[in-house]
Amino acid sequence: MNLNNKKMYESVIQRVNNLLTENKISENEFAKRIGIPQKTVNNYLSNKRKISIEFIESFSRSFGLSIDWVLNGEEPVKSYSSGRPYYNVDFLGGFDLSAPDNTINPDYNIDYQPYNKDGVIWCNITGESMEPKINSGDKIAISEILDWDKCLVCGEIYAIITKNNLRTVKIVYEDTGDKFILKAINKEFNPQPIKKNMILKVFKVLGCIKAF
């Protein structure tokens, strides 16, 4: 990795800043996520200190990105030959996104390297409960978690479907044993308990982008 290339160096910093802005991730949250002091992160992102290879590796690992994308980058684009399928439906009222039948086809693919992974699909999201991180009208990348009863991580965002067809996108705040306590980012919304025996499907919300 040749970080002495000024153009590449500047593009990496811009790419990191864009990803944080796009996903409404604060500098403090980002620093905690990659395990680097906030002051150091601030120096990196404001070009006061040259980024290190360790920073790039930690960033790519924490966000599930390839180092090649971090170094070279790309923007999300519509595609009919690459990327992951986008269904023009709202998660909160959509069809069974984990197993769409042959009569339901994606409108197109969204080719965006951070989320070009097997099992990832794109759909729409409405509502204000997750603002400002996820805004109404955004497109979200989700991936179904089959063993959700064993591996949900508190503090992460999930899209959940219950057996009575409640659909919600929230942070899993607490696991009480028989239920999850869900929280919104928007403080106007109250915590929401959901019993585990009522859960039908769980998707990890990997990221979001604005409408094209």
Domains 6-72 and 77-209 share a fold: no
Percent of the chain surpassing pLDDT 90: 40
The predicted pLDDT at position 48 comes to 82
pLDDT exceeds 80 at position 190? yes
Please determine, for residue 165, whether its predicted confidence score (pLDDT) is greater than 70. yes
Least confident range of 6-15, 37-46, 117-126: 6-15
Secondary structure class of 50 (helix, strand, coil): coil
Q: Of 182 and 89, which is predicted with more confidence?
A: 182
pLDDT band at 99 (very low <50, low <70, confident <90, very high): low
- Does position 181 have pLDDT exceeding 90, yes or no? yes
Cα separation, 37 vs 28, whole angstroms: 9
Helix (H) or strand (E) holding 142: strand 139-144
- Looking at residue 135, its pLDDT comes to 87
pLDDT (0 to 100) of residue 201: 93
Q: Which CATH superfamily is domain 77-209 in?
A: Umud Fragment, subunit A (2.10.109.10)
| Percent of the residues in the chain that have a pLDDT greater than 70, as a whole number | 91
Is the pTM above the cut of 0.75? no
pLDDT of residue 25: 85
State the average pLDDT over residues 184-202: 95
Weakest-pLDDT range from 6-15, 27-36, 37-46, 140-149:
6-15
Q: What is the pLDDT of residue 94?
A: 67
Spell out the long-range contacts of 49-58 with Cβ–Cβ below 8 A and sequence spacing 24 or more. 50/3, 50/9, 51/3, 51/9, 51/12, 51/13, 53/1, 53/3, 56/1, 56/3, 56/12, 58/34
- Rounded distance between C-alpha atoms, residue 55 and residue 30, angstroms: 12
> What is residue 70's predicted lDDT score, i.e. its pLDDT?
79
Nearest to 94 by CA among 124, 69, 121: 124
Domain ranges of the chain: 6-72, 77-209
Superfamily of structural domain 6-72:
lambda repressor-like DNA-binding domains (1.10.260.40)
Query: Half-sphere exposure of 80 toward its Cβ, with a 13 Å CA cutoff?
Result: 2
Higher-pLDDT residue of 119 and 69 is: 119
Average predicted confidence (pLDDT) for the chain: 85
For range 11-26, the mean pLDDT:
81
Surface-to-core class of residue 81, CB atoms within 10 Å of its CB (0-12 exposed, 13-18 middle, 19+ buried): exposed
Provide the pLDDT confidence category of residue 77 given band limits of 50, 70 and 90.
confident
